[in-house]
Amino acid sequence: MNGKRLLIPENKQRILVLGIGNILWADEGFGVRAVEEFHRRYVVADNVTILDGGTQGLYLVSYLEQADCLIVFDAIDFALPPGQLKLVRDAEVPKFAGAKKISLHQTGFQEVLSAADLLGRCPRDLALIGCQALDLEHWGGPLTAPVRLQIAPAIELACKLLAQWGSPATPRTAPLPASERLLANNIDHASYEMGAQPI
């Protein structure tokens, strides 16, 4: 789990941009790949934290506790056409987040939100940018084409939300240094999928 955490000015609302999922299960990795690409393309203000949450489950509660606003990229499984994006806001988020668990031991994001809520520190504004998965069963497989093609539109949605919340993202003018990537050790999107067979 990697992310950028900074000291926040007291007069700014704290925003968390979070990608969750498991890159080892094909389209289950959508959320992680979307936040990775967002970080590669954009610079954000100091009150915005970008986080690869992977499958960290309840370990994410401490991040949610510190956020006033939350954007989550995630794969969803609600019998929509493969690759369809769905933006879910506020009270509707818990019933959509983490639609399918890969194992019984994986904490769903609903439980993470519930834990933060019980502690009285759930973000005030919630937005789930979900993408309908095509394949959640291909171990070691890459994102399928319909899902991969929705990364850019999902990032555009996130940028619109950040602008609405008063913290617009700015396109990078120089490539992201390797030392600042969210994923390293050859599990970044380009390196990982070089060895995987597309579907």
For the stretch 130-165, pLDDT in tens is 999 998 777 877 899 999 999 999 999 999 999 999
Closest listed residue to residue 17, CA positions, set 141, 126, 124: 126
Residue 130 bridge partners (DSSP): 74, 86
**Residue 62 identity (one-letter amino acid):** S
Mean of the per-residue pLDDT values of the chain: 81
Contact indicator for 132, 83 with CB cutoff of 8 Å: yes
Q: Mean per-residue pLDDT for 17-33? A: 89
| 3-state DSSP assignment of residue 85 | strand
Q: What is the pLDDT of residues 41-96, one digit of tens each?
A: 999 999 999 999 876 767 788 888 889 999 999 998 888 899 999 999 988 877 66
The per-residue pLDDT for 173 is 93
Closest listed residue to residue 91, CA positions, set 118, 132, 127: 127
Q: What is the pLDDT of residues 108-124, one digit of tens each?
A: 677 778 787 777 778 89
